[in-house]
Amino acid sequence: MKRTYTHPPLHTRYVQHGQQPQAKQVFEGRSFGSSTGKDTVRIFPMGGAGNVTKNMYLYEYRYDGKLRDILIVDCGIGFPDEEMFGVDLVIPDVRYLMDKRDKIRAIVFTHGHDDHIGGLPYIYPKLGKIPMYAPTLAAAFANLKLKETPIRDRVQGMSFDKHVEAGPFKVSFIRLTHSVPDTSHLVIETPIGIFYHGSDFKFDPTPLDNKPSELHKINAVGKKGVLCMLSDCLGSERPGFTPSEQIIGETIEKELRLSHGKVLFTTQSSNISRIQLAIELAQKHGRKIAFLGRSIDKNVEESVKLGYMKFPRDVIINDRDLKRLPAEKQFLVVAGAQGQPSSNLFRIASDAHKMVRLTDADTVIISADPIPGRENDVNKLIDQIYRHGARVSYSDIMEDLHVSGHGSSGDMMLLLSAVGPRYVWPIGGTYKHLMQYRRLAGDLGYDKREVLIPEDGEVMEFSEHGAPRIVDRVPLEDIMIDGLGIGDVGNVVLKDRQVIAHEGIVVVVIPVDRRNGRMISPPEIITRGFVYAKGSQQLLNRASSVAEHALTLKKGRITDWQMVKKRIEESLKEYLLKETGRSPLIVPVVLEV
């Protein structure tokens, strides 16, 4: 049954439009550290600025300009955009750290989502043996990823009453509500003052795990005085407060009542509280539960082991036993909420799954919104499910089927007024979210110069006295994961893939006598994705002649084939562009016979 609630009363510092926030008045005149005047702290978003994913932040302590210590917060993955053909994942560019590894004191994680922990197996081996800390569930999820690699080091789980000492940094954890349990904000104490690292959050007064945000801790750190707060801003365009997770239960139950066949439920595999809710409702309606997908399986298993999920074991069945169970008794928790082509849900929708087939009696519940860049994949998935006649429920057509894990403008203003930092730095959103957050902060009396929005690669330096300033710019690239390769797909390879996708490819095969290095027959032209060969024979014959002419410009025995290939490539590119208006990728191949 739907639980009603009211939002918690706003902190006393939460003020109306145009008023100076009391939080800033509390800050002014305070001394926050034991600074000698030579101490500074630099913050660098290593995953880039204006990114929703690929979260990774460096906190650098320097004395008299010299780097002494580094604290890393989060190490996440990003997702390829539509122009990154064949790329699986994107990770932060850590080249900046390669000559500074001896200065890294710890990595601390805020919560267990992949865009905050997923880069760990790829990046940790480059950094050496570094202590790693995270709230208990986030540590468990991160360690699941490490167990799949040769890495033996593990992330240490931390309760919310513990803190981490890492060189001059003292890091404490504050529990916040989000779409995964054990989400934390970090209070980072340094010689020059306190930094509040407020990544993904919302204020949910009735969270599914019954563990609300620790508002008393937020108020306490605000009273101490915070030099700068980094704050999640992804929901800055939404008015009011983000609803509680509790409202989703009523919608799921409605779908269960309407379905005459099996029900497939998908959400983020780390959203275990929502999965727990769905299991309880399915059990109430007499259905058996099967988990389909490696990520779902492992996260549920680990969550049960740690006590974050509870359900009778006899309600769980193996996917191999589904054929013996009536469809109306099946509830399948399936991985693939983002339409990933390799996921179980995509394979089911494509009739490629060994155990599950969709029918027109079935219902598919997609309890997740597409992350930026995955909208097309999710739309294709929904279309494919509809082709089977199944009922599809998703947030675009059904209210209260998905609730964001990110706060709306009210949540953000509540946090900002409670913490009352001298400076605020919006993170975790695109540029439009950053700018909207600046407007919200302006409503609380913050000057534009007090809302920090650095550009990509810029390093911000703080001192105890004086305004923060940009002191460096570090070049950053997207490091792409393609299969087993890490970073071997660079801009050149990606550009070639883009050309092939948009313009096609032309392969020029040049048969050459091995003994004298001379061409023995005209070049053969092979095309894919460029023109229809049978209908363009005249064009291809002329292209062969152009390549042959470029080859015969070189007299005598050819020894420098690289130069000849370059000449053929340039000549053909000019000819094909003139004749067709297209610029395919041209690949000359010398075949010795």
Full set of structural domains in the chain with CATH: 23-241+404-473 (3.60.15.10), 245-394 (3.40.50.10710), 490-592 (3.10.20.580)
- Phi and psi (nearest 5°) for 508? -105, 110
Closest Cα partner for 263 from 339, 324, 384, 348? 348
Which tops the pLDDT comparison, 1 or 39? 39
Spell 75-97 as b/e; 16+ CB within 10 A means b: bbbbbbeeebbebbbbbbbbebb
Chain-centre distance of CA 454, in angstroms? 20
Write out the catalytic residue numbers: 232, 406
Q: What is the pLDDT of residues 471-480, one digit of tens each?
A: 999 999 878 6
Please report, rounded to a whole number, the percentage of residues in the chain having pLDDT higher than 70: 85
Question: Are β-strands 66-73 and 57-63 bridged in parallel, bridged antiparallel, or unpaired?
Answer: antiparallel
Question: Which of 592 and 380 is assigned the larger pLDDT?
Answer: 380
Question: Could you tell me which of 193, 200, 218, 197 has the C-alpha nearest to residue 468?
Answer: 193
Better pLDDT: 15 or 455: 455
Average pLDDT score, the chain? 86
What is residue 504's predicted lDDT score, i.e. its pLDDT?
A: 78
pLDDT at 296: 94
Residue type present at position 575: Y
pLDDT band at residue 378 under the 50/70/90 scheme: very high
Evaluated on CA atoms 317, 323, 325, 330, the torsion sign reads positive
pLDDT over 70 (residue 200) = yes
- Integer Cα distance of 420 and 179 in angstroms: 25
Torsions phi, psi for 161 (to 5 deg): -100, 5
Separation between Cα atoms, residue 112 and residue 180, nearest integer Å: 7
More confident call, 31 vs 186 = 186
Q: Which residue has the higher pLDDT, 73 or 561?
A: 73
DSSP structure class, residue 246: G
Q: What is the pLDDT of residues 520-573, one digit of tens each?
A: 778 887 777 777 666 677 888 887 787 777 776 555 555 566 777 788 778 888
Q: Is pLDDT of 12 > 50?
A: no
- pLDDT tens-digit map of 92-107: 999 999 999 999 999 9
Mean pLDDT of 239-256: 92
DSSP three-state, residue 291:
strand
Confidence bin at 576 (pLDDT 50/70/90):
confident
Higher pLDDT, 523 or 311: 311
Q: Mean pLDDT check: name the lowest of 4-8, 28-32, 65-69.
A: 4-8
Specify burial of residue 399 (Cβ count, 10 A radius: 0-12, 13-18, 19+).
Answer: exposed
What's the Cα-to-Cα distance from 295 to each of 41, 152, 269, 291, rounded to whole Å? 38, 20, 6, 10
Structure tokens at 39: 């101490």
Predicted confidence (pLDDT) at residue 327 exceeds the cutoff of 50: yes
Mean pLDDT of 161-186: 97
Higher confidence at residue 441 or residue 493?
A: 441
